[in-house]
Amino acid sequence: MISNENDVNNEERKFLEKANFVLLCWKEEMSKLQRLWALITVNVYIEIPSKGVILEEKKKRIEVLCQAVGVPAAKKEEIIKKLGKFEHYVLTYDNILKMIIILLNIRSNLPTVLMGETGCGKTALIKYLACATDTELEAVDIHGGIDSTHIHEIVKKCKERLKPMENMIESKENEPQRNPKEIWLFLDEFNTSPDIGWFNELICNRSLDGVKIPDEIKILAACNPYRKRQLSEQEKEWFGKDHLAQYAYRVFPLCETVK
Q: What is the mean pLDDT of residues 201-207?
A: 91
Domain boundaries, given as residue ranges, for the chain: 15-38+109-164+183-258
pTM of the full predicted structure? 0.70
The string of pLDDT tens digits covering residues 30-66 is: 777 777 776 665 555 567 778 888 888 999 999 999 9
Q: What is the mean pLDDT of residues 160-183?
A: 59
Please tell me the predicted confidence (pLDDT) of residue 192: 85
Task: Give the count of alpha carbons within 13 A of 9, CB side only.
Answer: 1
Please tell me the predicted confidence (pLDDT) of residue 258: 87
Instruction: Tell me the CATH class for 15-38+109-164+183-258.
Output: alpha beta
Residue 223: closest CA among 243, 207, 200: 200
The string of pLDDT tens digits covering residues 12-36 is: 777 777 777 766 677 777 777 777 7
What is the C-alpha separation between 145 and 69, in angstroms, rounded?
Answer: 36
pLDDT at 249 over 70: no
- Give the C-alpha distances (Å, rounded to integers) separating 165 from 75, 153, 161, 178, 182: 18, 19, 8, 9, 8
